A and B are shown apart, each in its own frame.
Chain A
Amino acid sequence: MLLTSFSYFVLLFITFVIFYAVPDKKKWIILLLSSLLFVGWLSINILIFTLIFSILNYFFGIILENSKSNITKKRLYTLFIITNVGILAFYKYINFLIDNLNVISSLFTSTLQFSHMDILIPVGISYYTFQSIGNLILIYRGTEKAERNIGKYILMLIFFPKFLSGPVERSNHFFPQIKSLRSFDSAIVTAGFRLFLFGMFKKVVIANNLSDIVFNSYGNLSVYSGMPLIVTFLIQAIYIYTDFSGYTDMALGSAKVFGIDLLPNFNRPFLAKNVTEFWKRWHMSLSLWCNDFIFKPLMIKYRAWGNNAAILSVFVTFLVIGIWHGANWTFVVLGVLQAIAITYEFLSKKQRLRFYKKLPKEVVLWSGRVITYLFFSFSLIFFYSKNIGDAFSFISQMFENFSFKFSGYSIVSNMEYFIMALTLFIILFLIEIFSEKGYDIQGKILKLPVFVRWTGYYVMIACIYYFSNNQETFVYMQF
């Protein structure tokens, strides 16, 4: 059940009606039941796995909190973290490990080869494992108390709007909210539905109509070269942004209907002036998690190393971010590229600022934005490619048979829809630019007469309805 499916909307709406019909203290039970139904609908096996995982971590938290001596606490903490990472690694990385072991062993002997394990990766595992680890870290640090209500703990991990694709929620952000679920507030509920609709529009009308070019290019690298790949290069970041942010808006909107604010994931990322800033605006819940639980502890631990501590912390953090996306060397490269860029920006900051002073402000601002966008697009080649070889083929083929002609080469199944989606993205981007400058565009829209607003909503619904026959794919669900 994808968030864009009609069945999801039915579940959301029924949950909404029952949620506000029951007393405040029982509201979380409705959310838990809907979440169990949602996960069970995906697969009973996933539900069982997730429940066992949640119960295990629930007890880990309590045991950790109850341990008296610091040494025991530290040992238990290490054990619990290793268990969580181990579960994630087993499901997500075991076959990757086997592949690499086979490569290494083939250097010495041809007889020792390990075969792949036939396992299915439980959907959403990267998201809820990071959430449970985050909770354990906070308990260990003493900044959060272990949750005693097992139902609420399970809800924290499997809350249905965020189960498939995050955001990577933080327990200290989520628990206080479900402990004070409020009565019906029409303004909040409407804002939730509006955000949901807007997210769906972004995903179905914009992202889905841009997806062709990306999947066709990477799926048929032997066929394409030159202009189609250059266009793909330029479009792929827009596609992943509208796809993922659209889905995130739907998750955030769904949660808001129940008065719950999930962590935001995007803050106008294409307006970032450099890569360091980009990662403060892109997949924020993940980057913030890594910042708090990996980067900062490393910086503190190795602070005596000076700049080297920062470089080490950046590389480790972005390696984790890279590998979090999947078991493939391409994701390692993705992470390393970000780390190299951020390290460069960190080390060259003074010189760059000196140079920028000589240039007009707007030139500095926009050249920074363009370079950051192009850099991100470049690193996405490794994100979409099946392997490193394909990524390099993509890069080299971009400059083969180069021509300014772009006939489509059947790379886009419907050119009109593609252009429409691109135009809509440009409008969205302009709104982001104005919002960045402080114009309250949303506020202005909300002040429009009901008739105008409702017409706008109907147009969006009609577009979603029209374009929703396309095969649904959601890139970030695989993580």
Chain B
Amino acid sequence: MKKYLSKILIFSSPIILVIVFIIVIDPYDFINISHVISDSDKIKVLNRSNASEPRGNVIWKYISYRRKPIENLLIGDSQGKYFDTAYIREITGEKYFNFNIPGGSYKTMFSLFWYATKLTKLKNVYFQCGFMNYNAYRDYNLINYGVDLVNNPITYFSNFKFLEDSYYNAYYALTKNEKLVEIYYLKMTLQELDSLAEYRITNMFKKYKYPETYYKELKKITDYCKENDITFRFVITPNYIGLEKYIKKFGLTEDRDRFKSDLKSLAPTIDMEYLDGLSNDRSKYYDYFHCRREYVSRLVDMIWGKTNINSFIKDNSDGQ
């Protein structure tokens, strides 16, 4: 039997090596023992592709928030992913956690909110909302990536995706090959970005149903915040005016208006959907609903009251 066990050990050595490799690289700081790769590199790697971004962000943020919960939160989808918490801290003097998940559905945002309430007493919540995702057919929940890992830690070693992540981390750390972590939409021409925008919008709008249950869930959240003395704001981030054509084309104007009035009936809403000076300039967007990173700090200024919400009207030349 002893001989057999040692034979099994020899046979298993490649598997053991894989486990050790994942522990050492630790792409999501899940084990949190080895730190051979910096967190900033890990974040770059998890954002390496359209496919890795949603999953990577959920897992990273889910684990990181679990380890260190913060009382001030930003929750939302990719439209708010560039909200810089360090800059917000500079303005407000308070620490914020950015729980914006690229590709995050409303269900994901609801789950993230309740997840945060379980870990800490919240103080400020900025709930970034977009009409694009406010669709009953977009009913997936990305938080499961994080929940599954925490509930079943063995998957960190048994799920191939984590080995793949570890490999990319190691490869990037060794080669510093920026192509690996280059954000795909930064390489695209305006024409390609337009096609991407059209593809995405059509995908999101061609099958639409107003999500009655989302309103109820949002109400539950705002009621909870009122009861628990939590300052709660909805934030509607700016879109390129070209989006309006598609909203009309798919007959969704009424639904969009209802969406906004629903939000406003529940909590104070910072509505920046179409900002003069920003929304009418295609070059300030990647696609039609993702404002370029360099303009996001201006939005932060507006949301946290450093500048007037109409500052883009006054100065639309450089955006800085």
Which B residue sits closest to A461, measured CB to CB?
A: B15
B157 touching A6 by the CB < 8 A rule? yes
Q: Does A120 contact B (CB under 8 A)?
A: no
Q: Does B199 contact A (CB under 8 A)?
A: no
Q: Does A340 contact B (CB under 8 A)?
A: no
**Chain A at the B interface: SS class:** helix
Residue in contact with B154 in the complex, picked from A6, A17, A465, CB distance below 8 Å:
A6
Sorting the interface of chain A by its residue count into under 10, 10 to 19, 20 to 34 or 35 or more gives: 10 to 19
Which B residue sits closest to A467, measured CB to CB?
A: B160
B interface residues (Cβ-Cβ under 8 A, vs A): 1, 4-5, 11, 14-15, 152, 154-155, 157-161, 163
Q: Does A458 contact B (CB under 8 A)?
A: yes
Chain A positions within 8 Å of B152 at CB level: 7
Q: A6-B154, A10-B154, A454-B11 are in contact. Are A184 and B1 (CB under 8 A)?
A: yes
**Chain B at the A interface: SS class:** helix
A6 touching B158 by the CB < 8 A rule? yes
Chain B positions within 8 Å of A454 at CB level: 11
Chain B positions within 8 Å of A17 at CB level: 5
How many inter-chain contacts with C-beta < 8 Å in the A-B complex?
30
B160 touching A465 by the CB < 8 A rule? yes
Residue in contact with B158 in the complex, picked from A184, A186, A457, A465, CB distance below 8 Å:
A465
Chain A positions within 8 Å of B158 at CB level: 5-6, 465, 468
Chain B positions within 8 Å of A458 at CB level: 14
Chain B positions within 8 Å of A189 at CB level: 4
Q: Does A375 contact B (CB under 8 A)?
A: no
Which residues in chain A, 1-41, are within 8 Å of chain B measured between CB atoms?
Answer: 5-7, 10, 17, 20-21
**Closest-CB distance, A314 to chain B (whole angstroms):** 46
**Closest-CB distance, A420 to chain B (whole angstroms):** 15
8 interchain pairs, CB-CB under 8 A:
A6-B155, A7-B154, A21-B1, A184-B1, A184-B4, A186-B4, A457-B11, A469-B159
Q: Does A466 contact B (CB under 8 A)?
A: yes
Chain B positions within 8 Å of A468 at CB level: 158-160
Distance of A454 Cα from B13 Cα, bound (Å): 12
Which residues in chain A, 146-201, are within 8 Å of chain B measured between CB atoms?
Answer: 184, 186, 189
**Closest-CB distance, B9 to chain A (whole angstroms):** 12
Distance of A466 Cα from B163 Cα, bound (Å): 10
Distance of A465 Cα from B17 Cα, bound (Å): 14
Which B residue sits closest to A21, measured CB to CB?
A: B1
A466 touching B160 by the CB < 8 A rule? yes
Additional A-B contact list (7), CB under 8 Å, known A17-B5, A21-B1: A5-B158, A6-B157, A6-B158, A7-B154, A10-B154, A184-B1, A468-B159
Chain A positions within 8 Å of B5 at CB level: 17
B160 touching A20 by the CB < 8 A rule? no
Distance of A17 Cα from B163 Cα, bound (Å): 28
Distance of A461 Cα from B11 Cα, bound (Å): 11
Which A residue sits closest to B7, measured CB to CB?
A: A186
A20 touching B1 by the CB < 8 A rule? yes
**Closest-CB distance, A379 to chain B (whole angstroms):** 34
Closest 3 CB pairs of A and B: A6-B158, A6-B154, A184-B1
The interface bits of chain A over 439-470 (1 if a CB of B lies within 8 angstroms of the residue's CB, else 0) are 00000000000000010011001000111110
**Closest-CB distance, A393 to chain B (whole angstroms):** 22
B160 touching A469 by the CB < 8 A rule? yes
Chain A positions within 8 Å of B1 at CB level: 20-21, 184
Chain B positions within 8 Å of A186 at CB level: 4
Chain A positions within 8 Å of B154 at CB level: 6-7, 10
**Closest-CB distance, A11 to chain B (whole angstroms):** 12
Chain B positions within 8 Å of A10 at CB level: 154
